[in-house]
Every structure is written in structure tokens, then in C-alpha cells.
Chains A and B, each alone.
Chain A
Amino acid sequence: MDLFLQNIVNGLQWGSFYALIALGYSMVYSILMLFNFAHGDVFMVGSYIGFGVATALLGLAAATGLPIPGWLILVLTILFSMFLTSFVGMFIERVGYRPLREAPRASAAITGLMIGIILETGNLAILGARRLSFPQLIESTTYQLGGVFVTNKKILIVAVSLGLMYLLHRFIQKSKWGMAMRAMSFDFQAVPLMGISINRIAPLTFAIGSSLAAAAGILYGLAYPVLDPYMGILLGWKAFVAAILGGRGSILGAALAGFLLGFIEIFVAWIFPSTLRDVIAYSIILLILTFRPHGFFGQAHSTQLRL
């Protein structure tokens, strides 16, 4: 029983990353009807930007002698990095996707792959192959509840992830911009005629998706403090699976599927020999897709941004 509860906690943390990254895939899909395959690498860039911001803030705190607490630095790091990474997303949209908007689908689809490789190798060229150790902004404390071990970091990761998802939900449902995005996803052709420019909605979508990826990157740095230029590839692929599983274009679906994916991986590794983890985990997902080809919340031939 302890082990079951422990793995629920483990799965919640691991699923948070999938969910946050999957949201970015889903949002871009709902607007542009294509998957931004560079998204996993945007997550990596966000993590590195977070590293840079955190190091700078720590340096500033040390230089000025101000007793800035770790949690404040963490909050500032998350906010700054989300802001900065949103520009990376908008830049990718501007140089990678906009010129190819009228191009054949396949060309636009591979742009993401190419941008991803450029981001990985560009990082390698600038920072070198050395692993970076993400600064521990908050002291890790372990709480023992019965036989279950929970750290403050785990609670923080899950809480921040859920908070961001809630904010995104509010934004899309309640704000004018969110309404424009939903309209755009409903009809890509007609909505621009109503005075909503795709050239404003598309960058906005990329910006939001990228800033969520950046938040995921920083939380990831807290939990797994070894950064490398290729850290986004596998995680990006798996989050992409979550986005599909949730139903293409569905925000709620992507978030739920992200957590589900985390739980499946953790629980498979618990019940079966861990060597077979990915084999069994992804066979299960294949099976789900066989019976629900449009994912949990997807509908055939519809790209509507749903919640």
C-alpha cells in the first residue's frame, strides 16, 4: 500500500512535465494544424535560460549582499524565464513557420525537426558538451507521511504545474485573446476576415506554449538537476504522444494524458521488471489509441480548441 501511494506521488511529479510540454504541442496544433516538433527543444532552451537567470540572480544577491530568499529567486526565475522563452517561441514561429504557412504540410512539419536540431547543436556549440548542474534554489526537505516520502520540491512541482494549467484554462475561456484563439482554431480561413490576424494569434500561441515549456524546464531542473543539450528530445517525443493521446488540439486532454503517461510509466516499472518499462507502457498507449483513434477528447476532422 505504501508503495502504491509512493508511486502515485512519483507519477504526479513525472506526469507534470509531460502535461506541461504536451500543452504546447496541442495549442499550436489547434491553431496551425501542425505539430511543432521543436517543442521538446524549446523546453531544453527554457531550462538553460532558467539556469542562466537563476545563476545571474544568485550572483546579484551575492554581489549586493541582499538576503534574497531562495523561494523568491525561484519565483523570479520562473517568471523571467517564461517571459524570455516566449520570445524564443515567437522567433521560431516568425522564421520557421510563417514563411512556410502556404507551403505543403510536409515542409512545414519538418521545419520543427530542423529547428530542433539547430537549437540542440547551437547550444552544444555555445556552451559545450559539459553538463550543467541546476542551482538548488530551495533546500530539499523530505517529509514522511506513513511510509510515503514526499519532498517540498515534489509538492512545488505539482502545485506550480496545476496552477499554470488553471491559468491557461482561465485565459482561453475568459479573455478576449483566448476567445480569438478558440475562434481561430474553429475556422482558420474565416476568422481572419473578421479582423483577427493570424499573424498575431500564431505568435501568441507559440509564446504561451514556449513559456509553459520554460516553466517545465525549470521545474525539471529542480527535480533532475543535470542539464544537457539533448534532454528535450525524448521528453518531447513522449509529451507529443501525450498530446495525441489527449486528442489533437484538446488542452484538457493533453494535460490529463500527460499525467496518465507519467502514471503508466511509473506503475509499469513498479509492477513489471523495469527493463520492460517502455515496451509495456507504450504498448498500453498503442492499445488505447487502437480503440480511441482520436484520443480522449478528439473528434474526427475537427481541430477545435476545446476545454
Chain B
Amino acid sequence: MKRLVKGTVWGLVAVLVFSANAWSFGRKTVIKVGINAPITGDIPKVGEGTKYAAQMWLADIEKAGGIEVGGTKYPVELVIEDNESKAESAVKANTKMITEDEVLVIVGPQSSKQAVPAGDVANNYETPMITPWSTNPDSTKDRPYCFRGCFLDPFQGPVLADFITEEFGFTTAAVLYDVASDYPKGLAEFFREAWEKIHGPGSVVAFESFTTKDTDFSSQLSKINKSGAQVLFTPQYYNEVALIVQQAHELGWTGPIVGSDSWGSAETVALCGKDCYGLFFSTHYAAAGAQGATKEFIERYEKTYGYTPDDVAALTWDSLRLVQTAIENTGKITGKIKQDRKAVRDALARVKNFKGITGDMTFTEEGDPNKCAVIVRISDKGEYEFYKLVCPD
């Protein structure tokens, strides 16, 4: 019996060693790209856009027969993990993709709530990660392996404060934000800072908050109504935007309500309806009136999935194309995952004047691109109309 057990164990070891050999000396290394996206949870539309953009990208790669590195074409595989729009699940998804699936590079997570903690995991495991949509500075700060595909909140906050001041000539503002989420909290503070710099301390007359999953904002909005604010700024996600805007109007708010790039989802208008018509928000690109490669992307996406891609889809597309460029620029895939990850990171950091569909990109030392912001107006038909372009100095 003992011998039998021993024999079985050795047999298993032999099989394992053999199969591991067969894997690492196999003829072709498969390039695995991890996608960390909120497929379920609070913002599933964001996850859907991410997945669709990734599948479009994969279709292109497969058509070309793989990514060409140093004269050899390597097949690509996508590993899509659902982070349920939760911070802890995003961390788990990253850990799994890095240690079990052995992905070369990760695209995602999208919201700062997940990208900030998940970026820590990627950086610790020395795996390059690029978050397409996270605008909070902490996602990439002091993390050489973390990059992003969009502008930052310290840029977005002042852009909006300047825009409101110039467009409406207002001097007092109110802010309503989710205190339990990194993105709205960070942006609310950057906006307040920028606004008070222009109009003096105390010019943000109401700075009200709530917690994720709240649906009734009547108390906060009643307070804001009576505060004498001329404009309401609310950097929330699409499911909350609908509730906030409708309740504000029901409580007698008549001034403009301004949002940030989290409004840019295709669902915002679907949930919010007429209440959102005529409102402004800052974002990464405007689908209506796009030109060139951007237009091509939009048309292809519309044809395949039946609706206009939102900014998340466009940024995910750009991030994947950035990853592809970086992999091609490494010049060699060794099959040793650690070495390859380092090579991809270095290549990403070297990318210059990348022509993305959401604008040109060159990474700064922190792994953040210098990009312009677009101010979009929700038209009376519910479309996202280009209104103004604001670029960093």
C-alpha cells in the first residue's frame, strides 16, 4: 500500500514536471491580457463597454494573426474578471489574474474606487496595469507599474470651475457627492479648492455628501436649495445622477447642474430622461461630431453592439492599443513572465505621441497622460454634444 502511494506521488510529480516543461518550452507563448471590469454591481454599463471594446480589439488582433513582436506573431488571450464594482473584489481579481492566470498586463479597473487599491497589487507584483478611466491621482502615484488612459481630477476640477465661471458668470456653488467612494470624494474636493481659489473662501456655500447606495437626497438637496448656490456640481455615477437631478428638480431647483466624466455613460440619459437635457459635464471625448479614427471606432461599435460607445469604451480601446504598442516595442517575448512584464512596463513608459481616439498621449513620469478635456452638453434629444475643448497649459 505504502509503495503504491509512493509510486502514485512520484508519478504525479513526473506528470507535473513534464507538463510544466511542455508549457514553457512550447512552440508559442500566448500573450495573456487581463481585463478587470465591473460586469455586475453598481455600474454594469461601464463593465459592458469595457468588455465590448476589449472584444473588438481582440477581433482585430485575431484577424492579424496575433501581436507581432520581433518578427514572430504571438496569439493573444483575454482574461476578463468581474470586480462587481467593489474595491475588495477588484483586488482579488488582480491577484488572481497575476498569480494564477499569469497575465502579461492588466487593463482596468475602471473606477478610482477599485483602481486605487487594485493598482497597489499590480505594482507589488511588478505587473504593468493601465486603468483607462480612473481619474484619481492615487491610482498611479508612486507606482512605476501603474498607468492610466485619461486626465486627472486635479485637472478636471479646475476645468469645471473655470467653465462654470466663464459660461454662466456664477459666484456661488453647491456640491453633492458620495463620501464613501474615492472618485467623487476626490473630485468634489478638487472642485471646491479650484472654485474657492477663483471666488474666495466660502463661495462653495453647500458641500453636502451621502453614502453609496443611498437613494433619497431630499434632505441634502433641500439644504442646497436654500443655501443660495447658483450651480450644483455632482461628480456621481450614472445611476445616482438620475436620482439626484430628478429629486433636485422636484424640490424646486432651477439652476444648472454640472457633472464630471462619470456622467458619460450611455445609461445616464436612459435613466434620467428629460430632466438631464441641457446639462453640462466634462469628459474624455464627445461621440457626436467625431472625426477620423474616432468616427471609425464609433461606427464599428454602433454596428456591432447597437448603441453609441461611451467614454469608457473609447478609453479602454485606447488603453488596449497602448498596451499593444508597448508589447510590439519590447522587441522580444522571452516567455519568462517576470522579465516580459518588466519589458512591457518600460516600453509603456517610453510611448511618445500615441495617437488615440480620445486624443494624443505621452506619459509623464507618474504614468499619467497629458490630455485635453471636453465639455459636453446633453442636447434636447438626449445626445452628448461637443461644446468646448479645454487643454492643459
Measured CB to CB, the residues of A under 8 A from B are 2-3, 6-7, 10, 13-14, 124, 128-131, 133, 136, 140, 142, 144, 149, 151, 153-154, 223-226, 228, 230-231, 234, 265-267, 269-270, 273-275, 277-278
Contact = CB atoms under 8 A, between A and B. Distances in A.
Contacts of B251: 6, 149
A150 to B, nearest CB: 9
Contact of A129 (B41, B179, B218, B252): B41
Contacts of B215: 224, 226, 231
A226 B242 CA distance: 8
Contact of B44 (A130, A142, A149, A154): A130
Contacts of B273: 133, 136
B220 A225 contact: no
Contacts, number: 91
Contacts of B44: 128-131
A128 B40 CA distance: 8
A274 B45 contact: no
Contact of B208 (A131, A274, A278): A274
A154 B246 CA distance: 13
A226 B268 CA distance: 11
A270 B271 CA distance: 27
A2 B226 contact: yes
Contact of B216 (A124, A224, A278): A224
Given A2-B226, A129-B41, A149-B250, A269 B239 contact: no
Contacts of A277: 210-211, 219
B267 A131 contact: yes
B223 A3 contact: yes
B222 A7 contact: yes
A152 B257 CA distance: 23
Contact of A7 (B213, B219, B249, B252): B219
A10 to B, nearest CB: 4
B306 to A, nearest CB: 14
Contacts of A154: 250
A133 B226 contact: no
Of B42, B47, B179, B216, which is in contact with the most chain A CB atoms at under 10 Å from its CB? B216
Given A7-B222, A144-B252, 19 more contacts: A3-B226, A7-B218, A14-B216, A130-B44, A133-B242, A133-B273, A140-B250, A142-B249, A142-B250, A149-B251, A224-B216, A225-B246, A225-B271, A226-B215, A266-B218, A267-B219, A270-B219, A270-B223, A274-B208
A239 B180 CA distance: 22
Contacts of B219: 7, 10, 265-267, 269-270, 274, 277
Q: How many residues of B sit at the interface, in one of the four size bands?
A: 20 to 34
B347 interface: no
A129 B40 contact: yes
A63 B219 CA distance: 41
B90 to A, nearest CB: 16
A226 B252 contact: no
B243 interface: yes
B218 A275 contact: no
Of B40, B218, B220, B267, which is in contact with the most chain A CB atoms at under 10 Å from its CB? B218
Contact of A10 (B45, B209, B218, B270): B218
19 contacts: A6-B222, A10-B219, A14-B218, A128-B44, A130-B44, A130-B45, A131-B239, A133-B270, A142-B250, A142-B252, A154-B250, A226-B271, A228-B239, A230-B213, A266-B216, A273-B209, A275-B209, A277-B210, A277-B211
Given A14-B216, A269-B219, A226 B250 contact: no
A306 B255 CA distance: 49
Interface string B185-224: 0000000000000000000000011110101101110110
